Chains A and B, each alone.
Chain A
């Protein structure tokens, strides 16, 4: 139905509904003004809607997610424009009469109903009911009073509406639900609350990222309560009730830090790198053939022996899980170890070099760390020393050996894996990675056999003479190993050992903190090389 737009009219939209006087004004002029503005409004509405449609088309084509904020804004604009137009039309429509333009079969039936101003029967009854409701209290009174009462009611309702509007507007402002735009005004949080929240936030972020606020003072850093289950079997609490944390008390140091690594560093002391603790231990180098040692012998303290027995018990338990030949090997090694602990400080040193990884391997066997030992066959034995560290190395070396992370990792692994790491840097990664990746695929048994070969090495060379040969003469090493059945393997091992040692030398300072043995070897090698 074309209402005000299609017909000529004598109206002014901006003024109140036209009194009869207005009709006498120049109708054409008024009409023009009126229609033009209406036309521009209609056009702008049309443009807005078409813009929205285009946007959606574009979203659909490019498969991007629309920004709902903007779209809602556009929608509300369209809504407002339409509202204005309708208001305009409503204002002037009083002066118009609807004349149906297009009568056809479809709408012929309904037109009379729509054109009539008489209410439909239902609407009429509705109307009557509402009227009754309104005039309920006042019907008995004279008319002027009725009018007054009704006016009073209307005023009350108007006041209530105004208040409601006010509250709505205030809430809208408070929560930023502006009429057309997004959150524009943030709610005013009082300064005290804001400051408190800021402070809490800083505390929380610092705690998560830095650990600020969670550190215990040094005097409280001792384990006094029972350990939670996941730590109970991980950490060993020594007799003094303190955890084996290096550098925390002299008490621990006097025990030679035996407990620190549990089974892994048997027969050696000073596994801790901390400087002052060295003085309390049996020195860094308990090996009598070391240039720094002054005739010291690595006589284990009673506590060490006790712990040794404890560890032996643990190992026995683990032995149960191992296949037979491994048990034999372990037994042999343990015998060797015990004999060596009686007085030959050197043998543990050498033994550690060759046998240590095996021990480690075996004690770790119960923990399913098979993959670590595989490198021993294919890599330097030094690599195998750091079995537990090797795991991490494994993850690091896989695809993350680029210069940036190299430096990074160097810091990270400075103590533990430097030899491994530098050799990784030195040797082509193709060497490392296939072995690493094949680590998991290898089974336990073949590796043990390889171990067995190298494991027998120290057994034959029980004397310090052998040690001297091995340590001071690389060719000596070759000789002893050539007698092994698996020659190629041993040679490969040995060559890589040489390589490993060579690399070690360049990183002596990194090794100080961890493997005194390796340090000693490096020094010895260093002495030997000029020969």
Chain B
């Protein structure tokens, strides 16, 4: 289970956001370079198609693979009152054979993405991870070197925190209160809900980048 919010930010303001996050999180930023393969099961595997995501972390010298299954989000009036999306998530590290195995099982490659950016992982009542990345698509299958951004001028901001059914309300509160700090630069909302950019982001970014405002990284 996880609490997740998403937002968009213009590429020109990403540096300012990084400075802001550095100040808020207090941890070192980590480079993010993930090849995400989304596999979908065909109709022969079941009535309802299921989707599995394989993530390969290319940043390490030895690529590490993770399998992730994203479930449905919590619904209902209770969920509407929470400002973050709470959804089931199953994640696990796997070996590199996972891809072959899924192909053997009958899953087919639906789409793949390359996410390049940075991430911060810190603790603030909950283990929150903030990642800012540009999403790239590949013109040819598995051609990572030829990846081009889906939207060159815009990057995606992801704030996630793992939760359990017992504590998800606290985690949701922690995530939403953290998101308030990012309000000058990025509007965060549940995935699939569009927010637009922050109109005053330019001013906020300018103040963050100025020497008088803060320390440059």
* Residue ranges of A at the interface with B (Cβ–Cβ < 8 Å): 65, 175-176, 183, 186-187, 189, 194, 197-198, 200-205, 207-209, 211, 213-216, 220-225, 227-231, 233-236, 243-247, 260-262, 264-265, 271-275, 364, 367-369, 388-389, 391-392, 394-396, 400, 404-405, 408-409, 411-412, 414-416, 510, 512-514
Assess whether B216 is interfacial by the CB under 8 Å rule: no
Q: Tell me the dominant secondary structure on chain A's binding face.
A: loop
Assess whether B63 is interfacial by the CB under 8 Å rule: yes
Please name all residues of chain B whose beta carbon is closer than 8 Å to the beta carbon of A412 when the two chains form the complex: 50, 52, 69, 90
Assess whether B97 is interfacial by the CB under 8 Å rule: yes
Whether the Cβ atoms of A203 and B151 lie closer than 8 Å is yes
Whether the Cβ atoms of A261 and B140 lie closer than 8 Å is no
Q: Which of A186, A211, A230, A246 has the most CB of B within 10 A?
A: A230
Whether the Cβ atoms of A211 and B154 lie closer than 8 Å is no
Stretch at the interface among B12-20, B21-29, B36-44, B76-84: B36-44
Please name all residues of chain B whose beta carbon is closer than 8 Å to the beta carbon of A265 when the two chains form the complex: 104
Please name all residues of chain B whose beta carbon is closer than 8 Å to the beta carbon of A205 when the two chains form the complex: 6, 8, 156, 191-192, 194
Inter-chain CA distance A60–B105, complex, in Å, is 58
Known contacts A198-B194, A223-B142, A228-B144; 17 further A-B pairs (Cβ under 8 A): A204-B8, A204-B135, A208-B6, A208-B158, A211-B111, A229-B63, A234-B97, A246-B108, A265-B104, A271-B104, A274-B42, A364-B97, A388-B95, A389-B105, A391-B92, A408-B72, A513-B106
Q: Known: A187-B199, A221-B141. Contact between A213 and B150, CB under 8 A?
A: yes
Inter-chain CA distance A223–B141, complex, in Å, is 6
Whether the Cβ atoms of A275 and B44 lie closer than 8 Å is yes
Whether the Cβ atoms of B109 and A274 lie closer than 8 Å is no
Which B-chain residue is minimally distant from A262 (CB atoms)? B100
Q: Known: A234-B97, A412-B50. Contact between A214 and B137, CB under 8 A?
A: yes
Please name all residues of chain B whose beta carbon is closer than 8 Å to the beta carbon of A395 when the two chains form the complex: 90-92
Inter-chain CA distance A260–B104, complex, in Å, is 5
Q: Known: A213-B137, A223-B142. Contact between A175 and B35, CB under 8 A?
A: no
Assess whether B203 is interfacial by the CB under 8 Å rule: yes
Q: List 11 A-B contacts (CB under 8 A).
A: A176-B200, A198-B194, A204-B151, A205-B6, A214-B112, A227-B142, A228-B144, A273-B105, A274-B42, A367-B97, A416-B105
Closest chain B CB from A506 CB (angstroms): 15
Whether the Cβ atoms of B196 and A198 lie closer than 8 Å is yes
Inter-chain CA distance A197–B113, complex, in Å, is 21
Q: Known: A204-B135, A216-B141, A223-B141. Contact between A411 and B109, CB under 8 A?
A: no
Q: Which of A261, A392, A396, A411 contacts B104 (CB 8 A)?
A: A261
Inter-chain CA distance A200–B196, complex, in Å, is 10
Closest chain A CB from B131 CB (angstroms): 11
Q: Which of A176, A187, A514 contacts B105 (CB 8 A)?
A: A514
Whether the Cβ atoms of B95 and A367 lie closer than 8 Å is yes
Inter-chain CA distance A288–B154, complex, in Å, is 60
Inter-chain CA distance A175–B96, complex, in Å, is 51
Please name all residues of chain A whose beta carbon is closer than 8 Å to the beta carbon of B191 when the two chains form the complex: 205, 208-209
Please name all residues of chain B whose beta carbon is closer than 8 Å to the beta carbon of A216 when the two chains form the complex: 111, 138-141
Closest chain B CB from A72 CB (angstroms): 14
Whether the Cβ atoms of A414 and B137 lie closer than 8 Å is no
Assess whether B126 is interfacial by the CB under 8 Å rule: no
Q: Known: A271-B104, A388-B98. Contact between A200 and B141, CB under 8 A?
A: no
Closest chain B CB from A374 CB (angstroms): 16
* Residue ranges of B at the interface with A (Cβ–Cβ < 8 Å): 6, 8, 35, 38, 41-42, 44-46, 48, 50, 52, 56, 58, 63, 67, 69, 71-72, 88, 90-92, 94-101, 103-106, 108-113, 135, 137-146, 150-151, 153-156, 158, 177, 191-192, 194-197, 199-200, 203
Q: Which of A275, A408, A514 contacts B88 (CB 8 A)?
A: A408
Whether the Cβ atoms of B153 and A200 lie closer than 8 Å is yes
Whether the Cβ atoms of A415 and B146 lie closer than 8 Å is no
Closest chain B CB from A33 CB (angstroms): 45
Please name all residues of chain B whose beta carbon is closer than 8 Å to the beta carbon of A409 when the two chains form the complex: 90
Inter-chain CA distance A443–B121, complex, in Å, is 34
Closest chain A CB from B202 CB (angstroms): 9
Please name all residues of chain A whose beta carbon is closer than 8 Å to the beta carbon of B113 when the two chains form the complex: 207-208, 211, 214
Whether the Cβ atoms of B196 and A197 lie closer than 8 Å is yes
Inter-chain CA distance A404–B92, complex, in Å, is 19
Whether the Cβ atoms of A187 and B200 lie closer than 8 Å is yes
Inter-chain CA distance A178–B146, complex, in Å, is 47
Which B-chain residue is minimally distant from A277 (CB atoms)? B44
Please name all residues of chain A whose beta carbon is closer than 8 Å to the beta carbon of B196 when the two chains form the complex: 194, 197-198, 201
Closest chain A CB from B157 CB (angstroms): 10
Closest chain B CB from A527 CB (angstroms): 25
Q: Which of A264, A265, A273 has the most CB of B within 10 A?
A: A273
Please name all residues of chain A whose beta carbon is closer than 8 Å to the beta carbon of B72 when the two chains form the complex: 408
Please name all residues of chain B whose beta carbon is closer than 8 Å to the beta carbon of A187 when the two chains form the complex: 199-200
Whether the Cβ atoms of A274 and B106 lie closer than 8 Å is yes
Whether the Cβ atoms of A514 and B199 lie closer than 8 Å is no
Please name all residues of chain B whose beta carbon is closer than 8 Å to the beta carbon of A213 when the two chains form the complex: 137, 150
Whether the Cβ atoms of B92 and A202 lie closer than 8 Å is no
Please name all residues of chain A whose beta carbon is closer than 8 Å to the beta carbon of B177 when the two chains form the complex: 65
Q: Which of A215, A233, A396, A512 contacts B111 (CB 8 A)?
A: A215
Q: Which of A220, A225, A230 contacts B56 (CB 8 A)?
A: A230
Inter-chain CA distance A395–B63, complex, in Å, is 20
Please name all residues of chain A whose beta carbon is closer than 8 Å to the beta carbon of B146 when the two chains form the complex: 225
Whether the Cβ atoms of A230 and B92 lie closer than 8 Å is no
Inter-chain CA distance A133–B177, complex, in Å, is 56
Q: Known: A273-B44, A392-B92. Contact between A200 and B154, CB under 8 A?
A: yes
Inter-chain CA distance A367–B49, complex, in Å, is 30
Whether the Cβ atoms of A214 and B50 lie closer than 8 Å is no
Q: Which of B44, B58, B103, B138 contacts A244 (CB 8 A)?
A: B103
Inter-chain CA distance A262–B138, complex, in Å, is 26
Inter-chain CA distance A230–B105, complex, in Å, is 21
